[in-house]
Amino acid sequence: MSAPRIRPETPSPYPLPQQERGVLGYSLKSVAKFFLKLILFYTLLVVPWPGVQQGYASLFCDAGNLAFRSFGSAGRTRFRLLDPPPANKNAVDYEIKLENIRTRAGGTFERDRSTRKMGYLPAAFAVSLVLATPIPWRRRLAAIVWAMGLMIAFVGFQLTLELVDAFSNPGVLNQFELGLWTKRLLGVLIKVVVKSPVAAYIAPIFVWILVTFRRDDWAKLLMSSDSPCMDNS
């Protein structure tokens, strides 16, 4: 009995459709969905600002007084809300009183950014990034707590740099003797970390990556592009 004859088929010139992949194995639809969620959550957190401005600014100053009331061996600071509060939401709404108890000299550290720009908006962006990430809600809530803590620490670091700079300037408030190159390095750090508007949005991205993704998430991202590395929810 002869073997059946098999007619070879000519390969189709048209390749079979494949699932479109965009960023790190995720479809472009998933990436677009993430950014839409990010915009939505950020908008929801930013819109209520006029209603929470006084409360947040007061909390900001209370935290500043708790953390920086004594600064160095002779420095004293006092965070104070401006009264009346500014009508413009982006206007500076607080000031810092400085005192050197050794020389009995005092002054006002005039601010160039409001509590909204320095604290509220970066924290809102970090929280929005976490909320938009497709991981289980239990992980999201834990990540939000860590993100808020790290963003508070970042603002504290910014204020520390500025206060060291203020108390190291020549004059009656001086309590830190910094060398020429140390003072210049401090100035560069302040320009990059504090004054730059980009830093207010780069820092939340690093915080989001740090608190949201686990080691196995990164392993799946690097090893496989065929299945999502996180549970959708």
Q: What is the pTM of this model?
A: 0.80
Q: From CA 79, how far away is CA 176, in angstroms rounded?
A: 21
The residue extents of the domains of the chain are 28-59+113-223
Q: Is the pLDDT of residue 194 over 70?
A: yes
Q: What is the pLDDT of residue 153?
A: 96
Q: What is the pLDDT of residue 176?
A: 85
Q: What is the pLDDT of residue 216?
A: 78
Q: What number is the average pLDDT over the span 155-171? A: 91
DSSP, collapsed to helix, strand or coil, labels residue 20 as coil
Q: What is the pLDDT of residue 26?
A: 61
Q: 99-107: long-range contacts (C-beta < 8 A, 24 or more apart)?
A: 99/75, 99/173, 100/74, 100/75, 100/76, 100/167, 100/172, 100/173, 100/174, 100/175, 101/74, 101/75, 101/76, 102/73, 102/74, 102/175, 103/74, 103/172, 103/173, 105/171, 105/172, 105/173, 106/173, 107/173
Regarding predicted confidence, which is higher, 149 or 74? Answer: 149
Q: How far is CA 148 from CA 41, 103, 142, 211, 214, in A?
A: 16, 38, 10, 10, 18
Q: What number is the average pLDDT over the span 209-222? A: 79
**CB-facing half-sphere around the CA of 218: CA atoms within 13 A:** 7
pLDDT tens per residue, range 26-78: 678 888 899 999 999 999 999 888 778 889 999 999 999 999 999 988 899 99
Q: What number is the average pLDDT over the span 157-165? A: 94
Question: Is residue 105 within 8 Å of 173, Cβ to Cβ?
Answer: yes
pLDDT tens per residue, range 176-193: 888 889 989 999 999 999
Q: Is the pLDDT of residue 10 over 60?
A: no
Which H or E run contains 221?
helix 215-223
Q: What is the pLDDT of residue 229?
A: 45
Q: From CA 117, how far away is CA 25, in angstroms rounded?
A: 35
Q: What is the pLDDT of residue 3?
A: 57
What's the residue count for the chain?
233
Q: Considering only CA atoms, which of 47, 39, 50 is closest in space to residue 91?
A: 50
Q: From CA 103, how far away is CA 20, in angstroms rounded?
A: 69
User: What value does the mean pLDDT of the chain take?
Assistant: 84
- Show the tokens assigned to 180: 């020429």
